[in-house]
Amino acid sequence: MKKKLFSLLLTATMAVGALAGCGQATSGGKSTSSSSSSSSSASSSASKGGSGKSVTIGFSQVGAESDWRTASTKSMKGTLSSKNGYTMIFDDAQQKQENQIKALRNFIQQDVDYIALDPVTESGWDTVLKEAKDAGIPVIIVDRMVKVSDDSLYTAWVGSDFKAEGNKACEWLKQYADKKGIKQSDINIVDIQGTIGASAQIGRTEGLNDAVKANGWNLVAQQTGEFTQAKGQEVMESILKSGKKINVVYCENDNEAFGAIDALEAAGKKVGSDIKNGEIMVMSFDSTNAGLTDVKNGKIALDTECNPLYGPRVDEMIKKLEAGQKVPHLQYIDEAMFAKDNTIPTVTAKNAKGEDTKYDVTVVTDDVIKGRSY
Nearest CA among 153, 154, 125, 157 for reference residue 144 = 157
- 8-12, 161-165, 315-319: least confidently modelled range: 8-12
Collect all residues with Cβ–Cβ distance below 8 Å to 282 and sequence separation of at least 6: 248, 249, 251, 257, 260, 261, 264, 271, 299, 300, 301
If asked whether residues 324 and 203 sit together in one domain, one would say: no
- 53: domain range? 2-160+308-332
- Report pTM: 0.81
Point out which residues pair with 337 in neighbouring strands. Answer: 304, 361
pLDDT bin (cut points 50, 70, 90) of residue 52 is low
Give yes or no for a contact between 106 and 180, defined as CB atoms under 8 angstroms apart. Answer: no
If asked whether residues 27 and 171 sit together in one domain, one would say: no
Mean pLDDT of 188-208: 97
Collect all residues with Cβ–Cβ distance below 8 Å to 103 and sequence separation of at least 6: 24, 26, 29, 31, 58, 60, 91, 93
In whole angstroms, what is the distance from residue 298 CA to residue 324 CA?
50
Taking the CB of residue 178, how many other CB atoms lie within 10 A of it?
A: 13
At 83-136, the pLDDT tens digits run 999 999 999 999 999 999 999 999 999 999 999 999 999 999 999 999 999 999
At 334-343, the pLDDT tens digits run 899 999 999 9
Evaluate if residue 370 carries a pLDDT over 90: yes
Give residue 254's identity as a one-letter amino acid code. D
If asked whether residues 22 and 77 sit together in one domain, one would say: yes
* pLDDT value for 19: 29
In whole angstroms, what is the distance from residue 213 CA to residue 205 CA?
12
Nearest CA among 112, 71, 65 for reference residue 93 = 65
Give residue 190's identity as a one-letter amino acid code. V
If asked whether residues 71 and 109 sit together in one domain, one would say: yes
Compute CA distances 332 → 71, 254, 352, whole Å: 18, 21, 9
Q: Phi, psi (5° rounding) for residue 351?
A: -90, -170
| Stronger pLDDT, 373 or 255, i.e. the higher one | 255
If asked whether residues 118 and 21 sit together in one domain, one would say: yes
In whole angstroms, what is the distance from residue 285 CA to residue 331 CA?
20
* pLDDT value for 373: 85
If asked whether residues 229 and 328 sit together in one domain, one would say: no
If asked whether residues 92 and 229 sit together in one domain, one would say: no
Taking the CB of residue 324, how many other CB atoms lie within 10 A of it?
A: 10
At 145-156, the pLDDT tens digits run 999 999 999 999
CATH number (domain holding residue 35): 3.40.50.2300
If asked whether residues 82 and 99 sit together in one domain, one would say: yes
